[in-house]
Amino acid sequence: MIMSEQAHRATILPVPEGTNRPLWSVMIPTYNCAAYLRETLTSVLAQAPVAEEMQIEVVDDHSTQDDPEAVVTELGKGRVTFYRQPQNVGYIRNFETCLQRSRGQLIHLLHGDDVVRDGFYRTLQRGFEQHPDTGAAFCRHIYMDEHSHWESFSPLEQPTSGILANWLEKIAAGQRLATPAMVVRRDVYEQLGGFDRRFSRAGEDWEMWVRIATQYPVWFEVEPLALYRVKRSGSLTEDSAFTGQLVQEMRLATEIIDAYLPSYLPEPRATERLNLAREMYTRWSMDTMQQMIAAGQFNRAIAQAQEVLRHSPSPKTVRAVMSLFLWHSLRWSGRSLYTNALVSSIP
């Protein structure tokens, strides 16, 4: 792998010799999400084997609005350990701490607001047992809202459980899974490094799953055994600030993946896959822009459009963005100002 890429990824050191090694390490990163942590821990403890077989640890990124340690003490009763960062380090560094502190052969990085269903660990374990060369395994997952109500299911990647065919081509075309659904062998992280530190809000998981797929077979479990929480702030202003940055992160992810994917996926397939990813994130961004325009947030919509055009500057994207804005132009006051601002942003 390219040295410049490795410089952005933490080295995950092997577990010291003589250390007791459980099969599982369930590492739970948290930050101001103690209200959900109770449900997360309950779902893990309900199916956890003894401590010798499964390490369970909450790694808190110096929460300021709640007390996750109190939840761990109450529910864990000594079975769950707790580590608090001395200062806020950001979610990527907190993930690194989770990986470094893990002792198990298999690592499940479970966000402190997500949940696993009964049978998750037993079922995913079978994939590694049946195919010892498997680098990672994931299951179908369920999207749930902030009240834990189920909303939808992730795609069924294949009709039966087993090693995925052509997985690198599929995952390179865009994110298809949620982190709580994924289990990775610890020695894979030792070989490939931690999550890329250049990300600040999103995209690090997709890049990691692509990176793993370039090197290892990946197992898929058809049963939906993980739940990913989709939280809504209720504030379009706050959400739109995030979505604008999300486009930047997705653009960064495609650039990072583009630096190494052709070494593992011959051209023109590598370029085709990444173009599909750009199209997918562009469609999502266009939907967000339409919501911004409908809410009268024209300046934010312009900023979002500029990021979209940087991410995917194809004639098709330019036409789509221009059509969207022109469609709403008659509703604007000072529409020429916004139209000129948009035109000036086209690469």
CATH number at residue 165: 3.90.550.10
| 169 plus 116 within the same structural domain | yes
8 A C-beta contact, residue 188 and residue 216: yes
Domain assignment of residue 87, given as a range? 3-229
| 255 plus 200 within the same structural domain | no
Position 1 scores a pLDDT of: 45
Q: How is residue 107 written in tokens? A: 């690592």
- Of 199, 229, 259, which residue sits at a domain end? 229
Peptide bond preceding 313: is omega within 30 degrees of 0, i.e. cis? no
Position 196 scores a pLDDT of: 97
How far is the C-alpha of 19 from the C-alpha of 118, rounded, in Å? 29
| 16 plus 57 within the same structural domain | yes
Q: What is the mean pLDDT of each run of 10 residues along the chain (347 residues)?
A: 74 96 98 96 97 98 96 96 97 97 98 97 97 97 96 96 97 95 98 95 93 98 96 48 70 93 93 88 77 76 77 78 68 50 51
Position 260 scores a pLDDT of: 96
Position 291 scores a pLDDT of: 76
Position 304 scores a pLDDT of: 75
| 9 plus 151 within the same structural domain | yes
| 225 plus 287 within the same structural domain | no
- Of 173, 203, 229, which residue sits at a domain end? 229
- Structural domains counted in the chain: 2
| 188 plus 271 within the same structural domain | no
pTM for the model stands at 0.86
| 128 plus 271 within the same structural domain | no
Instruction: Give me the residue label for tokens 């834990």.
Output: 148
- Of 172, 198, 229, which residue sits at a domain end? 229
8 A C-beta contact, residue 262 and residue 270: yes
Q: Is the dihedral of CA 126, 130, 134, 140 positive or negative?
A: negative
